[in-house]
Amino acid sequence: MREIKADIRLGDCVEVLRSFADNTFDLIVTSPPYADSRSKTYGGIKPDDYVAWFLPRSSEFLRVLKPTGTFILNIKEKAANGERHTYVLDLILSLRKQGWLWTEEFIWHKKNCYPGKWPNRFRDAWERCLQFNKSKKFKMLQDAVRVPMGEWAQTRLKSLGKNDVIRFNSQAGSGFGKNIANWLNRDLAYPTNVIHLATETGNKNHSATFPKSLPEWFIKLFTQEDDWVLDPFLGSGTTCEVAQEMGRNSVGIDIMAEYYHMSKSKIKEVDRFLLEESASYGKHNRKRNSHVHRKKH
Amino acid sequence: MREIKADIRLGDCVEVLRSFADNTFDLIVTSPPYADSRSKTYGGIKPDDYVAWFLPRSSEFLRVLKPTGTFILNIKEKAANGERHTYVLDLILSLRKQGWLWTEEFIWHKKNCYPGKWPNRFRDAWERCLQFNKSKKFKMLQDAVRVPMGEWAQTRLKSLGKNDVIRFNSQAGSGFGKNIANWLNRDLAYPTNVIHLATETGNKNHSATFPKSLPEWFIKLFTQEDDWVLDPFLGSGTTCEVAQEMGRNSVGIDIMAEYYHMSKSKIKEVDRFLLEESASYGKHNRKRNSHVHRKKH
DNA sequence: AGCTCTTATGAATCATTGA
DNA sequence: GTCAATGATTCATAAGAGC
């Protein structure tokens, strides 16, 4: 059985990454601590200090990313004193000065955003997914994230209990749901730069992570099997979990021991699951993500 | 019949606005010429010069906007040389230095954007609608743009769950019954900061037009009847057309004679329509937007 | 299997009070 | 006076239980 590595490290990514060679990773996808949030875990970076805190780390990212690789940064500025913070804008400008290309800004449109009502503001239902690259010629596998089009497709998917078109696409691709494979093949369209996913709820293990489908989408788009994925702010381990399920090698780094152990145990679960699966089917199983979908159903 | 003015002007807004008094407008909503587009009209603003070109104009906007007023700037940076331009980011930072508050960034999610495919980029399905204000206390009529609640509400409110009781008791102490009253019989919810409108098709007279529903939404949200709306880059006249239909006074400015005449003729059409409507119903018609909705239905 | 109903909770924001 | 903690407000999803 081919080995897929999920290397979980404890420490500050700026230090941990020093032991990694240049041009190692195909994709860096991460959701760093936002300014003034997760204050207990990362020392509570003030908005004014955020760029200065981030740049030494992104410098290492730049070094370990392959020339054809992509860096996806999921971030959103908070409101304070009636205004939006500008530190994310400053960060984009500073990253360009550091040598990054600001290739694209994807919008993650959150279907179930936090409720609330304020006299002069509506609920915040979106976050930025900023795409940075080292060169204009980066690897992008657009066909991997094509989605079915048409109204019938949308309602059919909803009736399956998953609003996630992408996931459904891979189900059909793995031979699960042959009844709809016909129109799937007929009506595939490329997505836009607006990603419409729900945040995951009911997850008691941790407080704040992105849903699995978000890193999954970018991993599909920017990597192939056996490629290397890095999440330097791993949090509860979502990125490595998804990467392993998808047959990508991954490195995840977090500074909090609590998150480190949580991620470690997740990866172990996946390993055990793959082993059982492999035994019961009595053969190699390249398409690991197929299990996951079957499980969820 | 009460008079609603739609004042269309020909010229550069930086000059035309000099004849307007301070604190005149309740809302400025506009979609300015993007960098490198409409090159013949404003002398072909290069991305690098965009901020310098914009600031004298926004300075006038700041002057003629009421302290409680709002400035909505619909803009999106183009991709060039494989990157997103940064002039919009620079513009936000510069506008803040000019005295504006960057209150919010709405996302206009375009449902049916142009199809297309590029080797390393997906279709661009969103634009920024940047909200700027002169003070934190601005006029916002949130109830005017409420949307139907999701279906969950009907079943959810039949019987409140145990955890609702716990959460309300622990946070609000005595407020449980009061909160129930807030939820019962409610079928409208406040929207989010992601605006989901279809782009209008079939309007081929001009290139970069927003759909009527976009200015309509902001006019509803930030103005009342008889208020004053300004669009300093009027283009084909959409803003003034919508404003008049909604019973708001408006001023629209454009530097191109072609657009000027187009807008003028549109306004006349609206006048005639109102007149006919008024005649056929044989009475005054304060709520002009009711026509619009009836028509749309 | 496929519904309906129940329940938990999520990178939220602002005003006010307390240190 | 600056900064930190607390209370009030409120929507949409998915998992799980029940039939």
> Which pLDDT value is given to residue A269?
74
* A225 vs A246: CA distance, rounded Å: 7
Q: How confident is the model at residue B149 (pLDDT cuts 50, 70, 90)?
A: confident
- Give the HSE-up count for residue B222: Cα atoms under 13 Å, Cβ half-sphere: 30
Interface touch B107/A126, C-beta < 8 Å: yes
Interface touch A125/B79, C-beta < 8 Å: no
Interface touch B86/A104, C-beta < 8 Å: no
Tell me what the mean pLDDT of segment A253-275 comes to: 84
Of residues A164, A292, A270, the one with CA closest to residue A217: A164
Q: What is the DSSP letter of A2?
A: -
Same domain? For B54 and B172 the reply is no
Tell me what the mean pLDDT of segment A185-197 comes to: 81
Supply the angle between the helices A238-245 and A213-222 in degrees, to the nearest 10.
50
Q: What is the average pLDDT value for chain A, to the nearest integer? A: 80
Alpha carbon of B158 to those of A85, A219, B161, B172: distances in Å? 41, 42, 10, 22
- Taking the CA of residue B134 and the C1' sugar atom of nucleotide C9, their distance in angstroms comes to 37
* Higher local confidence (pLDDT), B275 or B188: B188
* A238 vs A109: CA distance, rounded Å: 19
Pick from B36-40, B107-111, B164-168, B277-281 the range whose average pLDDT is largest: B107-111
B226 pLDDT exceeds 50? Answer: yes
Residue A231, number of CB atoms within 10 A of its CB: 29
What tokens does B141 get? 């009529």
Nucleotide whose C1' lies closest to the alpha carbon of residue B152: D12
- Is B21 within a domain? yes
Phi then psi for residue A23, to 5 deg, are 55, 45
Q: How confident is the model at residue A3 (pLDDT cuts 50, 70, 90)?
A: confident
What tokens does A196 get? 């419409």
- Is B123 within a domain? yes
Of residues A162, A167, A174, A126, the one with CA closest to residue A147: A167
The H-assigned helical ranges of A102-164 are: 151-159
CB-nearest partner of B96 from A86, A105, A189: A86
* A17 vs A4: CA distance, rounded Å: 20
- Is A89 within a domain? yes
* Higher local confidence (pLDDT), A292 or A59: A59
- Is B1 within a domain? no
**Contact call for residues B42 and B33 (beta carbons, < 8 A):** yes
Judged on CB neighbours under 10 Å (0-12, 13-18, 19+), A261 is middle
> Which pLDDT value is given to residue A120?
93
> Which pLDDT value is given to residue B198?
61
A152 pLDDT exceeds 60? Answer: no
- Is B208 within a domain? yes
Question: Percent of chain A having pLDDT more than 90?
Answer: 57
Q: What is the enclosing helix (H) or strand (E) of A29?
A: strand A25-30
Tell me what the mean pLDDT of segment A191-202 comes to: 86
Last residue of a domain, one of B174, B189, B204: B189
Q: Check if A125 contacts B (Cβ < 8 Å).
A: yes
Supply the angle between the helices A238-245 and A289-296 in degrees, to the nearest 10.
110
Q: What is the average pLDDT value for chain B, to the nearest integer? A: 83
Q: What is the CA radius of gyration of chain B?
A: 22
**Chain A, 116-135: which CBs lie within 7 Å of strand D?**
116-117, 123
**Contact call for residues B132 and B95 (beta carbons, < 8 A):** yes
- Is B45 within a domain? yes
Q: How confident is the model at residue B180 (pLDDT cuts 50, 70, 90)?
A: low
Same domain? For B275 and B265 the reply is yes
Q: Check if B92 contacts A (Cβ < 8 Å).
A: yes
Interface touch B81/A136, C-beta < 8 Å: yes
Longest Cα separation, chain A: 61
Pick from B35-49, B105-119, B232-246 the range whose average pLDDT is largest: B232-246
* Higher local confidence (pLDDT), A46 or B288: A46
**A105 to chain B: which residues are within 8 Å by CB?**
84
Residue A166, number of CB atoms within 10 A of its CB: 21
Same domain? For B217 and B234 the reply is yes
Residue B192, number of CB atoms within 10 A of its CB: 20
Interface touch B136/A102, C-beta < 8 Å: no
Interface touch A92/B86, C-beta < 8 Å: yes
> Which pLDDT value is given to residue A210?
81
Longest Cα separation, chain B: 65
What tokens does B160 get? 């409140």
**Contact call for residues A160 and A274 (beta carbons, < 8 A):** no
The DSSP bridge pattern shows strands A6-10 and A83-84 to be: unpaired
Q: What is the DSSP letter of A77?
A: P
What tokens does A244 get? 């392993």
- Nearest residue to nucleotide D13, by CA–C1' distance, is A112
What tokens does B152 get? 């969950």
Last residue of a domain, one of A171, A189, A207: A189
**Contact call for residues B266 and B244 (beta carbons, < 8 A):** no
**Contact call for residues B29 and B229 (beta carbons, < 8 A):** yes
Same domain? For A183 and A50 the reply is no
Tell me what the mean pLDDT of segment A239-259 comes to: 94
Tell me what the mean pLDDT of segment B195-220 comes to: 74
Same domain? For A174 and A41 the reply is no
> Which pLDDT value is given to residue A171?
30
Same domain? For A165 and A175 the reply is yes
Same domain? For B159 and B199 the reply is no
- Is A1 within a domain? no
* A82 vs B135: CA distance, rounded Å: 9
The position carrying tokens 């204009």 is A136
- Taking the CA of residue B184 and the C1' sugar atom of nucleotide C4, their distance in angstroms comes to 21
* Higher local confidence (pLDDT), A271 or A81: A81
- Nearest chain B CA: its distance from A102 CA (Å): 5
* Higher local confidence (pLDDT), B94 or A156: B94
Counting the structural domains of chain A, the total is: 2
First to last CA, chain B: 26
Same domain? For A168 and A33 the reply is no
Pick from A275-284, B11-20, B182-191 the range whose average pLDDT is largest: B11-20
In terms of CA atoms, which chain B residue is nearest residue A100?
A: B83
Same domain? For B155 and B105 the reply is no
SS (H, E, C) chain B: CCCCCEEEEECCHHHHHHHCCCCCEEEEEECCCCCCCCCCCCCCCCHHHHHHHHHHHHHHHHHHEEEEEEEEEEECCCEECCEECCHHHHHHHHHHHHCCEEEEEEEEEECCCCCCCECCECECCEEEEEEEECCCCCCCCHHHHCEECCCHHHHHCCCCCHHHHHHHHHHHCCCHHHHHHHHCCCCEECCECEEEECCCCCCCCCCCCCCCHHHHHHHHHHCCCCCEEEECCCCCCHHHHHHHHCCCEEEEEECCHHHHHHHHHHHHHHHHHHHHHHHHHCCCCCCCHHHHHHHHC
Q: What is the pLDDT of residues A23-79, one digit of tens each?
A: 999 999 999 988 876 555 555 788 888 999 999 999 999 999 999 999 999 999 999
Same domain? For A50 and A87 the reply is yes
Same domain? For A73 and A220 the reply is yes
Q: Which domain holds residue A154?
A: 149-189
Which strand C nucleotides have any atom less than 7 A from protein CB atoms? 3-15
> Which pLDDT value is given to residue B35?
73
What tokens does A113 get? 């955003």
Last residue of a domain, one of B189, B219, B250: B189
A154 pLDDT exceeds 70? Answer: no
* Higher local confidence (pLDDT), A174 or A117: A117
Asked whether residue A164, judged by its CB, lies under 7 Å from any atom of the DNA or RNA strand D, the reply is yes
Question: Percent of chain B having pLDDT more than 70?
Answer: 72
- Nearest residue to nucleotide D16, by CA–C1' distance, is A202
* B259 vs A225: CA distance, rounded Å: 54
Interface touch B193/A123, C-beta < 8 Å: yes
Same domain? For B31 and B126 the reply is yes
Q: How confident is the model at residue A127 (pLDDT cuts 50, 70, 90)?
A: very high
**B199 to chain A: which residues are within 8 Å by CB?**
none
* Higher local confidence (pLDDT), B290 or B192: B192
B192 pLDDT exceeds 70? Answer: yes
- Nearest chain B CA: its distance from A230 CA (Å): 21
Asked whether residue B196, judged by its CB, lies under 7 Å from any atom of the DNA or RNA strand D, the reply is no
**A124 to chain B: which residues are within 8 Å by CB?**
192-193
- Is A123 within a domain? yes
Query: Could you tell me the CATH number of the domain that includes residue A88?
Result: 3.40.50.150
> Which pLDDT value is given to residue A109?
94
